[in-house]
Structure 1
Amino acid sequence: MNIKVLGSSSKGNCYVVSDGTTRLLLDCGLKAKEILAGIDFQPQFVKGCLVTHSHGDHVKSADKLSQLYGVRVYASRGCIEAAEITCACAVKAFEEFTVGSFRVLPFDIQHDAPEPLGFLLKSVVTGEKLLYFTDTYYLKYRFNGVTHILCEANYDIDILNENVNGGNVPKCLAERVISSHMSIEHLEQFLKACDLSRLRAVYLCHLSDSNSNAADFRERIQRLTGAEVIVC
């Protein structure tokens, strides 16, 4: 499983995933020209784009990808309507579908957007499983046999509190962060509850510029999982 990071921040999120047979995009929150450059200007080889939710930093180029370049977009009905995507395939939580050599299982997550989703992808070619979730403060499901995880680790609660107390982060903004994004502490709790026996790599994405510590996050997740940890 190859994972390429095109963007991972509030400015735009987009990832390219390939099992050697099928190429997919996970979210499309960058400008179309940036995404095209990241896929070597070969959109004809991208079989689909899985969109987690309707916020612009995840869905910005959905219409251009589908209408101009023929990339099929998959998202929840709530996301399609809120983002006003004119050409997309509506998918539902826990209704599996197939894109090329990937079996994709959407699942519901917790965020301040209509019907946000995470995705579990299994390659029928390699047998590898990728779990992708972002922009959620909590995951109520547990996943077994996952080989790769691409997930949000947005903030450290202690750093966030220090920034609030120091006047660097407004309290109202901190409350929104806590109610809509994954902390490193909650991520650790989630991982402890999962079967990590096949886990090879964890990609930490969507880190806050001011409320996170990339080196500390990497060390903590590496120590917990024993897997390779890449900070996006």
Structure 2
Amino acid sequence: MEKTFRGLNNIIVECNYSQEILDQKLADGATTDFLRNRIFKSHMNLATCKDLLRANNLTNVNNIVLIHLSDSNSNAKQFQAEITACTGKKVYVAEAGMVIPHFNKQPF
């Protein structure tokens, strides 16, 4: 990963789609090449999100919040589980009105 960040304590990151889900929708005729390519070029997928998180020092990270999940090309429970397994951190999937406890620099 080319870009890394220092001093992370809470992370809000896009995790828009699964390449596998998007490819299956294309194979099933449920989406078009045009839409697939637009999504591919303009949104972060699950694999790239995991690569980004792995590339950074997460020692002081308290929470990771996944945002901008696609309604039709993502699976919130799967994404949350995979990012949790990848990072060992508390992972939330953003929802309207959500309040995250201890969303500050110190976890207490």
Fold match by TM threshold 0.5: yes
Runs (4+) off by over 3 Å: none
Distance 2:67 2:89 in 1: 16
1:168 paired residue among 13, 27, 30 = 30
Distance across 2 between alignment mates of 1:154 and 1:162: 16
TM-align CA RMSD: 1.1
Q: CA deviation at 1:226?
A: 1.4
Q: How does 1:192-231 map to 2 (within 5 A)?
A: 192-231=54-93
Stretches of structure 2 lacking an aligned partner (at least 5 in a row): 95-108
Superposed CA deviations along residues 73-131 of structure 1, whole A, max 9, x for unmatched, are xxxxxxxxxxxxxxxxxxxxxxxxxxxxxxxxxxxxxxxxxxxxxxxxxxxxxxxxxxx
Query: Could you tell me how far 1:145 is from its partner in structure 2?
Result: 2.5
Give the Cα–Cα distance (whole angstroms) in 1 for the partners of residues 84 and 6 of structure 2.
18
Q: Give, in whole Å, the separation in 1 of the partners of 2:31 and 2:18.
A: 13
Secondary structure of the corresponding residue to residue 218 of structure 1:
helix
SS of match in other structure, 1:229:
strand
Larger radius of gyration: 1
Q: CA deviation at 1:144?
A: 2.5
How far the C-alpha of 1:161 sits from its partner, in A, is: 0.1
- 1:31-54 CA distances to partner (integer Å, 9 max, x unpaired)? xxxxxxxxxxxxxxxxxxxxxxxx
How far did residue 169 of structure 1 move?
Answer: 1.0
Structure 1 or 2: larger helix share?
A: 2
Alpha-carbon shift at residue 223 of structure 1 (Å): 1.1
Q: How does 1:6-155 map to 2 (within 5 A)?
A: 140-155=2-17
Count of aligned pairs between the two proteins: 94
| Secondary structure, counterpart of 1:209 in structure 2 | coil
AA partner of residue 154 (structure 1): N
Question: 1:48-82: per-residue Cα shift (whole Å, max 9, x none)?
Answer: xxxxxxxxxxxxxxxxxxxxxxxxxxxxxxxxxxx
CA contact (8 A) 1:144 1:196 kept: no
Q: Say yes or no: does 1:188 pair with 2:47.
A: no
SS in 1 for 2:30: coil
**Secondary structure of 1:197's match?**
coil
| CA apart distance, 1:167 | 0.8
CA contact under 8 A between 1:145 and 1:197: conserved in structure 2? no
Q: Which has the higher contact order (CA 8 A, sep 6+)?
A: 2
Going by fraction, where is strand more abundant, 1 or 2? 1
- Of all paired residues, the percent bearing the same amino acid is 35
